[in-house]
């Protein structure tokens, strides 16, 4: 029995040695075959390594062109309030914003980490490696098999290279010879790592100092009226559309002028510590923009004069103060260029971010508390079914955008069908307003409670575009004038003679015509004494007694170049029938003497208040 036991032990030991030997053979075989591939298989294996390198280079190029992404994060659309989606369409290529403001006004970041970039490149290599082309070797009798299913790549992104170690079975056979290679290693010359590091420095600098918003504010004040005072007795009027067109051009040009060159010390230099590469900044008029300005009347910015009204002649001059508040949102593409010293040629890493100016000032930095969500909590709970029917006065159904307003919060509900009907869930509210908007019609609002299910029929007034012909003392007039059509809920402004039409619907209007002519009223420098009551000193001041103190106000010489020389005001109810059967509105106004002094100018304003207008509708 002792002998039999010894024999079993020997068999077990021998079996273990065989298993260990087989394991060592296969573990060492790969390294042996990797470094010592038979000469007949060298060209085919070199072709495989070239394919691996090509796939890696393509992946690197995608990472650099798409802000560090190969596989894009989920798309998030923008809104009318914030025009940015989560991606910028750059020459047909969607690139995720590193920083943007979502459609509901939440600040968001999409900055990839170096680890995430390595993971995406590894996934990309696994997807592409099986498509290597060995047709020429197949024609020579080779059989080449790639086991991409079990492939395990490890990517390391360095400052000057991208290293790839790939564990994957590459089995090659030809005739009676065969070789199996498992471990593969390549190194691609690339500045991806250093470009990404510089991109992060630039992004951090922007988030900390908001230098792009600083340039935006400077451009705004250069190209648009923001605040100031001008000596004039006529209103100052700007066209917002023209302002925004010029501002867009200014933003595009000034953004493109930013640079990182240290050989030039000028206003446009952007010097970010630690960034050695060339950096460029791009903007295009074709990219998403959002411009808002208040106060405004439609597309016009109007600032009325102070000092020309009756009773204010004591000021001795007229002036026009203006202050407009702008909000601007637009994208900027940041591009970092390598110098090609890594041997891979020049590379470009790029990423977009949003530039936001709110109320004439740069946005709050990302570390600050985000702005409140512009989607009110009310709008998140729509649970009352309401039927809405929209028609015009002739009973024709209308496609209209429907919204609901309750206590200052407005919720978008949807759009009626071509039959003018809609049934949707509304948020619950007592005494809210349902608003309908349709092209060619005046906005319509109805008081309506949504605490329970119900239905509502809305009638919309059609807007008619009609020509405006101004006459002065019965004769056609083609000089400068401003015509206002003011109703309870809106004001239509016509800058005559450049504008000769207006959109009106039936309703009550206050029509005002201001006619201005060139003149020069020179007001010499004057000194006026201004007195005010101030508390007396000591005990008398403590008990409330006051004394008068006076001081001098110096008014410099002023020249008034435009003055009121005609006009008037008239209340008029415009009938729908008049708008339907006419093609133009004729307004006859009175003229005033051209004033030569400030007293005569004030007299013209008194005449204006007393003068009416003759309004007729013609064919």
- Residues 453, 469, single domain; the answer is no
- Residues 53, 175, single domain; the answer is yes
Give the bridge partners for 320, in sequence order.
Answer: 230
Give the bridge partners for 436, in sequence order.
Answer: 402, 444
Closest CA to 580 of 526, 617, 534: 617
In a domain, 356, yes or no: yes
In a domain, 372, yes or no: no
In a domain, 445, yes or no: yes
**DSSP summary character for residue 595:** P
- Residues 35, 135, single domain; the answer is yes
Domain of residue 342, residue span: 193-362
In a domain, 417, yes or no: yes
The answer to whether the CB of 52 falls within 8 A of the CB of 129 is yes
- Residues 176, 206, single domain; the answer is no
- Residues 429, 500, single domain; the answer is no
Q: What is the Cα–Cα distance from 17 to 12, expressed in whole angstroms?
A: 9
The answer to whether the CB of 362 falls within 8 A of the CB of 370 is no
Q: What is the Cα–Cα distance from 428 to 408, expressed in whole angstroms?
A: 14
Give the pLDDT of residue 11. 54
- Residues 486, 542, single domain; the answer is yes
- Residues 408, 358, single domain; the answer is no
Q: How many domains does the chain have?
A: 4
Domain boundary among 362, 386, 402: 362
In a domain, 85, yes or no: no
Q: What is the number of helices (H) and of strands (E) in the chain?
A: 10, 35
- Residues 147, 269, single domain; the answer is no
Domain boundary among 460, 481, 509: 460
CA distances from 142 to 30, 135, 172, 175 (A): 20, 9, 7, 8
Domain boundary among 460, 481, 503: 460
pLDDT block averages, 10 residues each, the chain of length 619:
51 53 44 62 91 95 96 85 84 92 82 95 92 89 87 93 94 90 93 95 94 95 89 82 93 92 77 92 92 86 70 53 92 91 80 94 66 54 92 93 85 92 92 92 92 94 93 92 89 88 92 87 65 60 63 64 88 92 93 85 86 90
In a domain, 308, yes or no: yes
Q: What is the Cα–Cα distance from 426 to 441, expressed in whole angstroms?
A: 23
Q: What is the Cα–Cα distance from 366 to 108, expressed in whole angstroms?
A: 9
- Residues 475, 611, single domain; the answer is yes
CA distances from 602 to 310, 515, 597 (A): 6, 15, 9
Q: What is the Cα–Cα distance from 603 to 79, expressed in whole angstroms?
A: 51
- Residues 426, 352, single domain; the answer is no
Domain of 439, CATH number, reads 2.60.40.1120
In a domain, 552, yes or no: yes
- Residues 498, 531, single domain; the answer is yes
- Residues 520, 484, single domain; the answer is yes
Give the pLDDT of residue 529. 65
Strands (E), 243-343: 278-282, 290-294, 300-303, 320-323, 325-337
In a domain, 96, yes or no: no
Give the pLDDT of residue 600. 82
**DSSP summary character for residue 362:** E
Nearest-5° angle of CA 360, CA 361, CA 363?
130
Q: What is the Cα–Cα distance from 345 to 350, expressed in whole angstroms?
A: 16
């Amino acid at each position: 029995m002792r002998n039999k036991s010894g024999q079993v032990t020997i068999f077990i030991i021998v079996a273990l040695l065989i298993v260990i030997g087989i394991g060592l053979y296969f573990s060492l075989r790969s390294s042996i075959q990797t470094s010592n591939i038979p000469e007949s298989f060298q060209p085919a294996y070199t072709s495989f390594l070239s394919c691996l390198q090509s796939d890696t280079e393509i992946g690197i190029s995608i990472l650099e062109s798409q802000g560090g992404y190969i596989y894009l994060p989920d798309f998030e659309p923008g809104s009318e309030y914030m025009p940015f989606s989560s991606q910028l369409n750059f020459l047909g290529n969607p690139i995720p914003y590193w920083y943007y403001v979502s459609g509901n006004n939440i600040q968001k970041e999409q900055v990839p980490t170096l680890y995430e970039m390595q993971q995406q490149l590894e996934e990309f290599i696994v997807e592409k490696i099986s498509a290597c082309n060995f047709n020429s070797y197949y024609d020579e009798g080779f059989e080449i098999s790639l086991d991409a299913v079990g492939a395990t790549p490890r990517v390391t992104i360095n400052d000057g290279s991208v290293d790839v170690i790939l564990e994957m079975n590459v089995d090659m056979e030809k005739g009676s010879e065969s070789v199996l290679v498992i471990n593969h290693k390549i190194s691609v010359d690339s500045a991806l790592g250093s470009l990404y590091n510089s991109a992060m420095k630039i992004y951090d600098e922007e988030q900390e100092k908001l230098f792009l918003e600083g340039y935006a504010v400077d451009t705004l004040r250069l190209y648009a009226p923001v605040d100031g005072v001008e000596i004039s007795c006529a209103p100052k009027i700007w066209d917002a559309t023209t302002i925004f067109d010029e501002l867009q051009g200014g933003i595009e040009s000034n953004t493109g002028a930013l640079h990182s060159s240290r050989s030039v010390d000028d206003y446009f230099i952007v010097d970010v510590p630690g960034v050695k590469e060339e950096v460029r900044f791009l903007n295009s008029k074709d990219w998403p923009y959002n411009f808002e300005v208040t106060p405004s009347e439609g597309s016009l910015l109007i600032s009325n004069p102070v000092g020309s009204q009756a009773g204010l002649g004591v000021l001795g001059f007229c002036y026009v103060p203006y202050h407009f508040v702008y909000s601007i949102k637009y994208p900027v593409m940041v591009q970092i260029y390598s110098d090609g010293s890594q041997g891979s040629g020049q590379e470009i890493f790029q990423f977009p971010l949003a530039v936001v100016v709110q109320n004439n000032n740069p946005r709050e930095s990302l570390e600050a508390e985000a702005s409140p969500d512009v989607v009110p909590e009310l709008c998140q709970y729509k649970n009352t079914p309401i039927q809405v029917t929209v028609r015009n006065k002739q009973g024709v159904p209308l496609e209209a955008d429907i919204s609901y307003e309750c206590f200052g919060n407005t919720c978008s509900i949807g759009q009626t069908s071509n039959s003018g009907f809609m049934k949707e869930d509304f948020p619950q509210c007592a005494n809210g307003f349902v608003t309908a908007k349709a092209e060619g019609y005046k906005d319509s609002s109805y008081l309506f409670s949504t605490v329970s299910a119900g239905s509502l029929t809305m009638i919309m007034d059609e807007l008619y575009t009609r020509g405006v012909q101004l006459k002065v003392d019965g004769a056609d007039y083609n000089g400068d004038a401003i015509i206002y059509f003011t109703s309870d809920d809106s004001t239509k402004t016509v800058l005559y003679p450049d504008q000769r039409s207006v959109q009106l619907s039936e309703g009550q209007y206050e029509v005002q015509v201001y006619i201005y002519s060139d003149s020069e009223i020179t007001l010499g420098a004057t000194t006026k004494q201004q007195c005010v009551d101030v508390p007396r000193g000591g005990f008398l001041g403590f008990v409330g007694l006051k004394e008068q103190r006076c001081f001098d106000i110096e008014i410099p010489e002023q020249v008034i170049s435009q003055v009121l020389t005609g006009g008037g005001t008239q209340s008029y109810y415009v009938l729908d029938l008049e708008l339907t059967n006419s093609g133009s509105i004729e307004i006859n106004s009175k003229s005033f003497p051209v004033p030569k002094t400030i007293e005569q100018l004030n007299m013209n304003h008194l005449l204006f208040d007393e003068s009416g207008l003759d309004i007729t509708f013609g064919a």
